[in-house]
Chain A
Amino acid sequence: MTDSASPKGAVAGRGWFPLLQRVVDLLSMPALALLTAFVLGAVVILITSGRLETVGEAYWGLLRGAFIKQRGFSESLVAAIPYVLLSLGLALGFKTGLFNIGVEGQFYMGALAAAWAGQAIQGVPALVHLPVVLLAGAAGGAIWAGIPGYLKAKTGAHEVISTMMMNYIAFRLTEFIISGPLRAPSGSTIQTPRISPAAELWALWDIPNRLTAPLNALTLSLALGFGAWLIARAAGAGGQHAPDGASAHTGIGVPVSPFAGLIARITHHASRHLALVVGLGVALVSFVALPPLTRLWWPFTDEYDRLHLGLLLAILAAVGVWWLLWKTTIGFELRTVGANPNAARYAGVSITRNIVLGMALSGALAGLAGTVEVIGVSICRCLPLFFSSGYGFDSIAIALLGRNNPFGILASAFLFGAMRNGADLMELNSGVSKYIISLIQALVLLFVAAPAVVRWMYRIKAAPRAAEAPLTRGWGG
């Protein structure tokens, strides 16, 4: 679709052309990789089933399951949420020069920590409990990733092997804790106790009911306010350029009224702290307006729709990672260590600190993904023994497909979530095993990881751009 758009852009005018060219440039490789992977997947289906119709049935089933069937679209979003968080973690690692292949284990540890924190405290409002559980989950993942990070920084133990080993330890550990110390006393199924209702991440349909309690309304409005602050901050509002209010103050000289100076000073400060003002404003407005408004009209009414506030969390995480990596000193240091550790060392940047930090942040995001699955998605609102998994490897493909860019990741995570969600109906529809999805995803990763292959296949000349920094490093560290 992007390819057909490019000539139009050329006609439209000079200004648009470079932008479109860039968009086409950015999207063509992932699009071609996806296309090739799906074509090869079709070939595999054709060979194993022996019928051409099966291919159509399978892909049609996939499409229907992902978007068209009842709750299909929102289930795709539900599946995309952990993908976003996990691949953001991976991308953050990649940018720091770390291949955190153990996100799955950190996902488990985050889930475990959240399940524990969710049931350990009872009777506190969501305003306290929800942040505590999210922090616990993030901490669980951060610690689980921080250990290999520390070992890498101090001893050179390569993170690919050590996080992989941490994965297996995490699987055994969660299995042991769920079936032993943290097993729910009642019930025949092996799972952790149900978390307190205050620790649950609200389903979207449930929001009007939840908001009837003022403290809950405060929680949501604070979250929204924080989100608005983050987005405003990330968008570069406030701080950078000289405030316009100053000219009003000094330019005219004589204040028109005694309040003008005050107003000018307020606007001055307001523009300096615009992000904060926006955040507080959004929080205030939503606190006042949301409860009555949602009672009047709310688009999500389906009680079986599992789409939850984790969606907001995922989007905020993407903005946050983008802001951290490209707009803060911390992020700059992380990226410097990733791009050129020697230069970073000469510049006085601590390699050890940044490797541990990069791993811990990466693990924290993965832990959040596990948390979200426990407090937002799981039916028992607990951590069951056979926790659904297989997110870890997919996330690598998602991060690379999104080119390690948080917003690219949002898009590719949705795509993969849709594929994961549609797979069931595909299997039902055509009898093609849903493992074909992992096959296709592996192929996507294959082609995305080696753009040279795609270029060679489609006879595309390499774009004359500077060599990209290597994603990973050998054993030497």
Chain B
Amino acid sequence: MVKRTSALSDALQLAWVRLRRSLTTILLTAFGLVAAWALLNLVIGGQCDGKCVVDALAQTLRVATPIAFAAFCGVLCERAGVVDIGIEGKMLMAAMAAYSVNLFGFQLLQDALGPVAAGNVSRWLALVMAVASALLLAGLHAVFSIRFKSDQIISGTVINILAIGITGYMYRAFLAENLPAGPGTFPLVPIPLLAEIPVLGPILFHQKPLTYLMLALAVGIYWMLFYTQWGLRVRAVGEHPRAADTLGIDVLRTRYINTLLGGVVAGLGGAWFTLEAVDVFSPLMTNGLGFIGLAAMIFGKWNPFGALLGALLFGLGNSVTATVSIFRPDIPSQIPQMLPYLLTIIVLTGVVGRAVAPAADGQPYEKS
């Protein structure tokens, strides 16, 4: 009994220490939110009422979704010591795969299943194919950087260029014109009861499936990385592969698995573009969100929750931008559009504390 209490108090103490450590981040976030709101109202002349704020925050979470997926992909890869700069390419590839499977799958299934069921089936099928296509590129990256020990940043760049080439080619060949009507994106899935909560409901529980999945993944990856044996091994491989190897952990296998898992997550992020955001694919539609995701990962110090926070920050920047351009059409749209990218650079400079990457990040492992 005594032992249990002490364990409990230990846990509480640990939680308190953690909370205190992240207190600065929390305070900064709160401050940032208030500042953003004040700035927004200043710019648009106080037209942003309660509903507008709630809408903007819901939009924030929506836009943060692909960035967070990208950041999670980064976390998974880099915690195991593989730098992945090809997230952008993987997402682009997945976006195209999702779009085309959704569209053509729907055409094939429409007669057999009827439009509603066909739409549902093709959307989920599209999600699977998006993940598969990103997985393919992740596999390429893994083979190049783990098996052939090529420069990981170059290899990631190759993935990006390859994805631009493939998606551009496929777009021109099949997706540019004469397209039949597609089934559209995922519908909103309000969660029963929770969606009725006054402010939080519309923000958190009135979203599309991938957004929920993203939130679940943040918890899942955090738990996996920091509370399971698997996570301990992964982190060991990322920090000190030699030591991990000595202890019998298969370094290369761990890296392969994590790079591929990252691919899966990036695929989900890519699917967001054409299965949740808009119902068209256009070349280069990922618009640097993969890179912003990497910045979010660095911002979050390679921790899923931190990465999510970073993603939310960029999402906020984005939704503020959108709100500004709605209320102030006289401001040239390009000016607020620069904001998220500027924010990324500021975040990278370590204004919010210097981040330290896993020690073996980006170094190929040579088994001795």
Residues of A within 8 A of B (CB): 44, 48, 99, 101, 148, 151, 154-158, 160-162, 164-169, 172-173, 175-176, 179-180, 393, 396-397, 400, 433-443, 445-446, 449-450, 452-453, 456, 470-476
Contact = CB atoms under 8 A, between A and B. Distances in A.
A101 B288 CA distance: 13
Contacts of B298: 158, 161, 475
A36 to B, nearest CB: 14
A433 B169 contact: yes
Contacts of B151: 449, 470-472
Nearest to B89: A442
Given A172-B337, A449-B151, A475-B357, A151 B169 contact: no
B165 A435 contact: yes
Contacts of B348: 151, 155, 157-158, 161-162, 165
B288 A435 contact: no
B159 to A, nearest CB: 9
B53 interface: no
A471 B151 CA distance: 7
A168 B288 contact: yes
- Interface SS of chain B: helix, strand, loop or mixed? helix
Contacts of A474: 83, 152, 357, 361-363
Given A156-B354, A172-B337, A445 B349 contact: no
A449 B155 CA distance: 7
A162 B347 CA distance: 10
Given A156-B354, A161-B298, A452-B148, 14 more contacts: A99-B154, A157-B349, A165-B292, A165-B341, A165-B342, A169-B341, A172-B335, A397-B161, A435-B168, A438-B165, A472-B151, A472-B153, A474-B357, A474-B361
A161 B157 CA distance: 12
A48 B175 CA distance: 13
Contacts, number: 157
B172 A433 contact: yes
Interface in B354-368: 354-355, 357, 361-363
A152 B71 CA distance: 21
B interface, size bucket: 35 or more
B334 interface: yes
Nearest to B153: A472
B158 A446 contact: yes
B153 A99 contact: yes
A433 B150 contact: no
Contact of B349 (A101, A151, A175, A446): A151
B191 interface: no
A439 B163 CA distance: 8
Contacts of B345: 148, 151, 157, 162, 165-166
B350 to A, nearest CB: 5
3 closest A-B pairs by CB: A474-B362, A450-B150, A433-B172
Contact of B164 (A48, A169, A438, A446): A438
B165 A439 contact: yes
B291 A164 contact: yes
Contacts of B162: 439, 442-443, 446
Contacts of A164: 288, 291
Nearest to B150: A450
B211 interface: no
A176 B157 contact: no
Contacts of A441: 161, 165
